[in-house]
Structure 1
Amino acid sequence: MLSHDNLTWITKALMDTQQEPKLTCGGQERSVSYLPLAHISEMIADIYLPILIGSTVYIAQPDTLKEKGSLRHTMKEAKPTFFFGVPRVWERMKTMVDEHVANSNNPIVKQCFRWGTKRDHPESGWQYAIAKITVFKQVQKKAGLHMCKHIFVGSAPMHQATFEFFKSLNISILELYGLTECSGLHSINFKSATQSKPKSCGKQLNGVETNIIKCGVDEHNCGEVLIRGRHVFMGYLGMEKETREAIDDDGWLHSGDIGYRDDVSKAFTYRCEIMQANIQDNFLYITGRIKELISVSTINPNPIENRIKTEIPFLSNVVVIGDNREFLTCLLTLKCTTNDDGETTDNLQPQVIKMFKKLDSHCRKVSEVCDTKDKAVFQEIADGIGRYNMESGARQVY
């Protein structure tokens, strides 16, 4: 249950916390509504915030999130000045850009794209400058993002490679963090150099509190993230027991998320004693969920999964399992296309087929890889996992 005060307060807190370039009142701002309005992020971004600042909201068509949906057309028409995208939207945009460049008959476009998206390429170099003029500005316009002051992602983790891809296109996607139980928002990054850090969920909003408690994970000072403030919900309707489990006697909301802050110098107190520290300038990082911890040795699988996906870029999902097992195992899926209903197909994504060709594999379907046990693909997967094991030392985390 969220009160009217919860929602109006969090909207005002967002405006009070924001950094340059700021959203302004008076009708100049524009946004695109495409998620269900029952979604807390959509409710704040496209109902309460527009009411507060008097902005214009463009309503997307029902087919927006389908494989060939109309979101990009709505974006080009609306030219939003701020935009919130769930990871699925950004992954789809990335796929569209990759396919557009791959299908282009213009060798200059392809070369400029390769120049600009090299991870080790300096952004001040002349090659990047040419790519920015000839390709990246056009990509921003085609995506409808060229007028955006702030571009956000939230609601679920997004792969770091996707952040880096859009960053190389001169599109900075800023991560935020929140739960429905805290009115959808608790910490946020802004464009300012002092107000954003890669891989972080930003700084807490003005007027809220954050604490970390020990929860069995001794990894980079990680613990459960606790939240307190006027944005914390009233409770679960008709579920008093669950409400008491979520909000303790001191008013702290137990998020169930594992995280840490980067500038905390004081040592953790053990078990569930709350660590007191000045966190005014701290950035919050979320690394996983308590319920996802592998009980064999309290291992957090999320960093492992993310690292394997980085090592093997043609994987769409990695799920590490280990409960009641002597060793960890992972389930892997390949990146494939989806149909108009958002269901996965047997066809591999174009960029995956391109990667496979470099491995001397001619597979174009997931079934072909599995049925033939393609040696090149299987070896690349084994090598990627091997690189992770070497880097981590395959050590246990207690």
Structure 2
Amino acid sequence: MHVFHSDHPAVPTLDLPIHDAVLGDAAAYGDTVALIDGTDDTSALTYRQLDTFHRRIAAGLAEAGLRKGDVLALHSPNTIAYPAVFFGATRAGATVTTVHPLATAEEFAKQLRDSAARWIVTVSPLLPTALAAAELAGGIERIHVCDRAEGHPSVLDLLATTAPEPRVTVDPAEDVAALPYSSGTTGTPKGVMLTHRSMGTNLEQLRPFVPMGPGARILAVLPFFHIYGLTALMNAPLRLGATVVVLPRFDLDQFLAAIEKHRITGLYVAPPIVLALAKHPAVDRYDLSSLEYVVSAAAPLDAELAAACSKRLGLPPVRQAYGMTELSPGTHVVPLAAENPPPGTVGKLLPSTEMRIVPLSDSSSGHGEILIRGPQVMKGYLGRPEATADMIDADGWVHTGDIGHVDEHGWLFVVDRVKELIKYKGYQVAPAELEAVLLTHPSVTDAAVIGVTDDEGSEVPKAYVVRRSSAPDLTADDVMTYVAERVAPYKKVRQAEFIDAIPRATSGKILRRELRDRERNH
């Protein structure tokens, strides 16, 4: 079986605690602004403050009783306090489990129980959910808020502590720095054990491709709780002295205004934001001339949509990157310096990373499941040895569940998920390919495709489509005809339904499971 290797020289394994890997040079960046609150523009932290604050938070948590090996649940939207709490907790010896800010109390409690968390840090608007979750889960020692809430200790109080900074010995290869929960688009969410080494080494692998440093201004709208945001928008820029402008959620006008006001140079986004940048009329109202590049990841991005976005913004082609939570997350990236990368590619292998493409049993297309091996691989799923063994084989290869192929120059193209493929009369149909076609229709603003059972008991592709408000007359037949004219006969969409919005995870991934549930309830 052919093994693909990176074109780039190997990088050394980074055996440092993640707080040192990211903030080791913070004092040297001194008065450079590290973080700006993009919602009010008045709150900001310099690198010197971030360094001091995370050390005080570590001291305060240790003084309150946090010990090495404890799990702290960080339950917050993106704020300028998020990195200080994250690194303060790891410096005190904790593992940080990052929690979706919109999680219900029941979902949050499940994560608290599964991770055996004893500490919660939240924000006052989310405090009722955190309190309910803590009561459901049990075992929580303290709940801190990042701001102020009567009757609850605040992270701000920790900054005033005079306790000594804890001296905790970290084993970067074994100790778990972050415990994000994989999105659960395939099965129940599982705690992904990312060690200090796997996360730090992935930053080292990404460094040659990420043009960040003092003067670079990055807009953090993707959530820090998700590994893409944690790595690309928090750890990578803060490691290199860039300025991160932080937004708590994606609101198009607020997002565009922040780019204009803060002269943002780089965007790391997911496909729904690329779609908005390519098609939404609001984009023309803002000066986005400071932008130098756009990178998209977390879900497949159609090549034509990418081209429409870069043309409209007058930028080089939108670059894609590829990875998954279990891989800390990066394995492939299209280098910004690459001349004319082929449209639709998610990139080439990062340094020190290997890949195999294992053919699917019924495929002669050169497509296969993507397998990855490298120092960025997770330690495993917390408390789930069987699930870990299903994911990582005896030779250390991660079975990603994604299907792709590699061209003769080593560029990877991801087609779809193994579990998402629709089997139409023995042919394999990739939903992402049909979604890409649907998005080229001028009257369609968003679309998703799933496999449904037709009257004859066969699985067929069905499209859920969001109509443009200016095109109320678009019919299901129009949609099916449009696709039929552009794809092989076996790939045709055979049912179509209009819907107000496509359900998506915060990362931009389509939640096909919700659409399948909708089908079942019809």
For the aligned pair, the TM-score class normalised by the smaller chain equals: 0.5 to 0.7
Do the aligned residues in 1 keep the contact of 2:219 with 2:233 (CA within 8 Å)?
yes
Specify the alignment match of 1:105 in structure 2.
Answer: none
Specify the alignment match of 2:386 in structure 1.
Answer: 241
- Separation of aligned partners in 2, 1:28 and 1:194: 24
Deviation of the 1:181 alpha carbon? 0.5
Shift in alpha-carbon separation, 1:58–1:310, aligned structure 2, 3 A: closer
Deviation of the 1:182 alpha carbon? 0.6
1:335 to 2:466 alignment: yes
Amino acid paired to 2:379: M
Do the aligned residues in 2 keep the contact of 1:189 with 1:195 (CA within 8 Å)?
no
Per-residue CA deviation, residues 365-397 of structure 1 (Å, 9 max, x unaligned), is xxxx5xxxxxx7455334324314xx514389x
Deviation of the 1:307 alpha carbon? 5.6
- Separation of aligned partners in 2, 1:69 and 1:42: 20
- Separation of aligned partners in 1, 2:480 and 2:206: 46
Deviation of the 1:99 alpha carbon? 5.4
Deviation of the 1:321 alpha carbon? 1.9
Do the aligned residues in 2 keep the contact of 1:292 with 1:300 (CA within 8 Å)?
no
Per-residue CA deviation, residues 341-372 of structure 1 (Å, 9 max, x unaligned), is xxxxxxx43xxx2xx4xxxxxx3xxxxx5xxx
Specify the alignment match of 1:37 in structure 2.
Answer: 224
Shift in alpha-carbon separation, 1:190–1:232, aligned structure 2, 3 A: same
Deviation of the 1:48 alpha carbon? 1.7
Shift in alpha-carbon separation, 1:217–1:187, aligned structure 2, 3 A: farther
Per-residue CA deviation, residues 211-240 of structure 1 (Å, 9 max, x unaligned), is 111223515300000000000110011111
- Separation of aligned partners in 1, 2:328 and 2:322: 11
- Separation of aligned partners in 2, 1:50 and 1:167: 23
- Separation of aligned partners in 2, 1:304 and 1:46: 28
1:291 to 2:475 alignment: no
Number of residue equivalences: 295
1:79 to 2:263 alignment: yes
Shift in alpha-carbon separation, 1:99–1:331, aligned structure 2, 3 A: farther
Shift in alpha-carbon separation, 1:151–1:310, aligned structure 2, 3 A: closer
Do the aligned residues in 1 keep the contact of 2:369 with 2:399 (CA within 8 Å)?
yes
- Separation of aligned partners in 1, 2:282 and 2:256: 15
Secondary structure at 2:202 match in 1: helix
Q: 1:59 aligns with which of 235, 241, 246?
A: 246
- Separation of aligned partners in 1, 2:477 and 2:443: 13
Amino acid paired to 2:202: I
- Separation of aligned partners in 2, 1:395 and 1:381: 14
Secondary structure at 1:186 match in 2: strand
Q: 5 Å matches for 1:1-398? A: 1-16=193-208, 18=209, 23=211, 25=213, 27-60=214-247, 62=248, 64-66=249-251, 69-96=253-280, 98=281, 142=286, 144=288, 146-169=289-312, 170-171=314-315, 172-194=317-339, 196-218=341-363, 220-263=365-408, 281-295=409-423, 297=426, 299-302=428-431, 304-306=433-435, 308-309=437-438, 312-315=441-444, 316-321=446-451, 327=458, 329-336=460-467, 348-349=468-469, 353=470, 356=471, 363=472, 369=473, 377-388=475-486, 391-394=487-490
Do the aligned residues in 2 keep the contact of 1:258 with 1:290 (CA within 8 Å)?
yes
Deviation of the 1:255 alpha carbon? 0.3
Shift in alpha-carbon separation, 1:246–1:321, aligned structure 2, 3 A: same
Amino acid paired to 1:48: N
Amino acid paired to 2:275: E
Query: Equivalent pairs: percent with the same residue?
Result: 21
- Separation of aligned partners in 2, 1:294 and 1:377: 24
Do the aligned residues in 2 keep the contact of 1:314 with 1:334 (CA within 8 Å)?
no
Q: Normalising to structure 2: TM-score of the pair?
A: 0.52
Shift in alpha-carbon separation, 1:80–1:299, aligned structure 2, 3 A: same
Shift in alpha-carbon separation, 1:70–1:154, aligned structure 2, 3 A: same
Shift in alpha-carbon separation, 1:395–1:155, aligned structure 2, 3 A: closer
Query: Aligned-residue CA RMSD in angstroms?
Result: 2.7
Per-residue CA deviation, residues 97-117 of structure 1 (Å, 9 max, x unaligned), is x3566xxxxxxxxxxxxxxxx
Unaligned stretches of 5+ in structure 2? 1-192, 493-522
Shift in alpha-carbon separation, 1:165–1:381, aligned structure 2, 3 A: same
Per-residue CA deviation, residues 190-217 of structure 1 (Å, 9 max, x unaligned), is 2334472211101111111111112235
- Separation of aligned partners in 2, 1:92 and 1:303: 18
Amino acid paired to 2:422: I
Shift in alpha-carbon separation, 1:217–1:155, aligned structure 2, 3 A: farther
Secondary structure at 1:299 match in 2: strand
- Separation of aligned partners in 1, 2:244 and 2:429: 40
Do the aligned residues in 1 keep the contact of 2:275 with 2:309 (CA within 8 Å)?
no
Amino acid paired to 1:65: F
Per-residue CA deviation, residues 225-280 of structure 1 (Å, 9 max, x unaligned), is 000000011001111110011000000000000001011xxxxxxxxxxxxxxxxx
Secondary structure at 1:210 match in 2: strand
Secondary structure at 2:485 match in 1: helix
Shift in alpha-carbon separation, 1:335–1:378, aligned structure 2, 3 A: closer
Q: Normalising to structure 1: TM-score of the pair?
A: 0.67
Secondary structure at 2:298 match in 1: coil
Per-residue CA deviation, residues 122-175 of structure 1 (Å, 9 max, x unaligned), is xxxxxxxxxxxxxxxxx7xx253x333432001012333321211322222111
Do the aligned residues in 2 keep the contact of 1:189 with 1:197 (CA within 8 Å)?
no
Unaligned stretches of 5+ in structure 1? 102-138, 264-280, 337-347, 357-362, 364-368, 370-375
Shift in alpha-carbon separation, 1:57–1:298, aligned structure 2, 3 A: same
Whichever structure has more helix as a proportion of its residues is 1
Do the aligned residues in 1 keep the contact of 2:348 with 2:410 (CA within 8 Å)?
yes
Secondary structure at 1:2 match in 2: strand
